[in-house]
């Protein structure tokens, strides 16, 4: 009889430890992590781009959904 009580206690503690364990945080894809939110600050210079460049923190008035897109240029 005590054997089954010990098994029941072991199973109960196993279930409790599974439920209270820390959950891993889901990471965002690296493309989204590289993007920085744009700001709208008075007095911050607005960059003028010539050619192909990356702007790490743009100064804009409106910004849509944060996503990445890839385009193919026909040559």
- Going by C-alpha positions, the residue among 8, 74, 62 that lies closest to residue 37 is 62
Contacts of 32 (CB under 8 A, 6+ apart): 66, 67, 68
Nearest to 34 by CA among 55, 62, 65, 60: 55
Q: Where are the domains of the chain?
A: 2-26
Q: What is the mean pLDDT of each run of 10 residues along the chain (75 residues)?
A: 92 95 77 62 76 76 68 76
Q: Residue 64: what pLDDT?
A: 66
pLDDT at position 46 is: 73
pTM over 0.85: no
């Amino acid at each position: 009889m005590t054997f089954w009580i010990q098994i029941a206690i072991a199973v109960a503690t196993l279930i409790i430890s599974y439920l209270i364990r820390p959950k891993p945080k889901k990471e965002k894809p690296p493309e989204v992590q590289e993007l920085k939110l744009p700001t709208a600050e008075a007095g911050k210079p607005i960059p003028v781009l010539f050619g192909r460049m990356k702007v790490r923190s743009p100064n804009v008035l409106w910004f849509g959904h944060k996503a990445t897109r890839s385009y193919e240029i026909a040559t």
